[in-house]
Structure 1
């Protein structure tokens, strides 16, 4: 039933009713069920007895439910369901706006800032979001603030005034009113509902969270890739978790992400709690947690030569990044060298130009250097061939002066064109950036040696042109096909550290 699903699914009443009656968790985040008799809204997988179909209405977002006067269910907590996969598979205005809202832009810069980043008027943004999601940018950001507030109320002992500030509310009164309206409970009542009667004791600035995802999720190549390419001082694999430093709008953070059977464990240390929403959003994006693996794998299985790879290890994700500019720099450092050499080059940059951080729980020492710091370095100090040195200095110069911008709101095709215009950026590097930094699920690497070798072994065409033609049937999920092709290689990048191969 998931195959062929398009935006606007909430208008297909029959399909939505079937999903609710079967408590199908695969639809969580695709739509929300509002119950007319109770004035409560739920996720499709809510464990309570489903209401009668005539008492159900369906909405495309939690914000739309709240706008219509419905309160969040206390059992299924629909505000914490995985985000809609639509925002990661599309590059249109609404999808780009939703990625920016998730990154906290409305809270930091307001709706005018959102519109400015997208190059549209505020009226155009509001009209399109209302048409598709039933709520404008302010309502969507408000729903996100409410979710952040609930998380802080339930997982910390922070005073309510500090929580209101950290969640992005302009006043205590607005915070109290919003929490009561969305959850039908006061902030204090939410806290007393935590098992044990109060929020757990925690180290100041440290949060322990559970990041949900749609099953299945295969962690092997996802965490294996992040661990094998980890930049010393910025990233590490420790005690079964991938850990890294985060450069955030108000400060910095350290996150530890642990793969678990039904969630990703997330231990997050922040220098400023206002960065909580952004940090969670970026970690979810890096781990591709809002993907729809049923739709992806279903499409890839239509190729009989690719189907056995999918059946053997379904649910592969595309390992992405928390910082698009950082990944572009690392892609250049990794051109035509081994994984180990790329880590060495990046580690030298970090030691020389990264900002130091404290990490009492591990061995992280630095933030990855900002593009401003890299733009100011002496090119002669870079121990690499002159052509790659020119590629790197041109890239960071364009990023620093704003003539090139790589972010969650980037137009994928426009960014490709701008990158291709830079010296030293060929199709492989551009598609790698499109796949892992920009998040294009259809990015494809037909010239990659590993992809071509596996294609040849499977009986697929191995020349770039012929492989691209064959891969047309994998669209719009060619980036995931690349993960399945890469994962046939017995390289550390495809395995969790410490697991037998």
Structure 2
């Protein structure tokens, strides 16, 4: 048995017996008699404690020969908040795996990005999560395949390669092993009203789960107030934005619902599905543990009334760390409206055009390479800020500065503070 990270057995058993949804994604319950694994909040009658064993990841359950429960669908649980909080090797590796690096670059590519050997990465992931990078990536491919099977009318062969499988056989074997159903059987289980899925090529509608509570006014209000024209907009009750993705581009429309975020993705290449979902979740901070956050904030007598009035606040993040850094510089010592105007001009002049038949989005935010190539004299900003801007985009473009999900945050912060014009306000924004 692999004991679930951070929790002893008694703690896990109590969470399962009380069907506590707060622990979904923190650990998984495997039932020895049925060989099924579940989320802690599974609605079925809990098994006897003696028949329970616990794992820190779905991949570890799958490697041990357990199959996903058809009732609680543990593969759709929110992710562990640990991976967005920590900066150690395991957390950085998990962020990269979720971002699809193993599928695109293999385990050697993952290790190279982390600055460790493949053996070191494998050993640490096995020690903490009970599964290595290949198994973790395989679990993600299975989840992506299930999404495509249940929400699109695509042929199974197209789904297999869009989900990242190297062959139809690997796709069929993995789906059957993880879900105890063939791909065709999975599709037949979809309710009749949902069976057809989206009919627009490259467009998918899905639900992004989160741990309750969630304060949508705080989260989406910030995103709408800071939206860059052409890249982001608030339209028809949804926050919409363009996405620069590994294989192409996309548009995400995200709307708050009582128990999930309604997500509509339009992708130029379906191989980007898992990455697009991961980045949207990270931007909305959906893997946070809001109960723990609120409990901590309530220890401050000034914050406690605010927390009680509006629990479940999230910290809006970004889908592109380089873009976020550039926008932080554009926002130095100016109003939010002025920062949006500056960013909008850059987008119009240097962004990549995209087609958006459903709204007013026009461009991808300019890449660091495009911004590094522009004439700095054309920037309508003070000379010192112009120097800060050109230094930042130059280092992002040539790889001197890395701000991706694999970054060690303390190291990245120190590197930013060493740049001219970067103080704590800009770095911590």
TM-score of the two chains, using structure 1 as the length reference:
0.84
CA distance in 2, matches of 1:229, 1:131: 41
How has the CA–CA distance of structure 1 residues 402 and 63 changed in structure 2, closer, same or farther, with 3 Å as cutoff? Answer: same
CA distance in 2, matches of 1:345, 1:201: 37
Match for 1:180 among 164, 172, 176? 176
- Structure 2: runs of 5+ lacking an equivalent: none
Residue 169 of structure 2 is aligned to residue 165 of structure 1: no
Match for 1:146 among 129, 142, 154? 142
How has the CA–CA distance of structure 1 residues 255 and 405 changed in structure 2, closer, same or farther, with 3 Å as cutoff? Answer: same
Per-residue deviation, 1:388: 0.6
Task: List per-residue Cα deviations over 1:221-275 (Å, max 9, x = no partner).
Answer: 2111110110000000000000000000000000000011110000000000000
CA distance in 2, matches of 1:351, 1:69: 53
CA distance in 1, matches of 2:30, 2:123: 23
Q: How does 1:89-168 map to 2 (within 5 A)?
A: 89-168=85-164
CA distance in 1, matches of 2:145, 2:160: 7
* Aligned equivalent of 2:284: 287
How has the CA–CA distance of structure 1 residues 9 and 199 changed in structure 2, closer, same or farther, with 3 Å as cutoff? Answer: farther
* Aligned equivalent of 2:233: 236
* Aligned equivalent of 2:294: 297
Task: List per-residue Cα deviations over 1:311-368 (Å, max 9, x = no partner).
Answer: 1111100011000000000000000000100000000000000010000111100000
Alignment check: 8 A CA contact 1:9 1:31 kept:
no
Alignment check: 8 A CA contact 2:198 2:204 kept:
no
Q: Superposition RMSD on alpha carbons, in Å?
A: 1.1
Residue 260 of structure 2 is aligned to residue 252 of structure 1: no
Alignment check: 8 A CA contact 2:233 2:361 kept:
yes
| Number of positions where the alignment pairs a residue of Structure 1 with one of Structure 2 | 426
Task: List per-residue Cα deviations over 1:193-232 (Å, max 9, x = no partner).
Answer: 0001834242111000100000000011211111011000
Alignment check: 8 A CA contact 2:240 2:252 kept:
yes
Q: How does 1:80-479 map to 2 (within 5 A)?
A: 80-196=76-192, 198-432=195-429
Spell out structure 1 runs of 4+ moving beyond 2 A.
197-202
Per-residue deviation, 1:301: 1.1
CA distance in 2, matches of 1:430, 1:180: 47
Alignment check: 8 A CA contact 1:153 1:199 kept:
no
Task: List per-residue Cα deviations over 1:112-162 (Å, max 9, x = no partner).
Answer: 010000000000000000000000000000000000000000000011111
Alignment check: 8 A CA contact 1:7 1:86 kept:
no
Per-residue deviation, 1:7: 7.3
TM-score of the two chains, using structure 2 as the length reference:
0.98
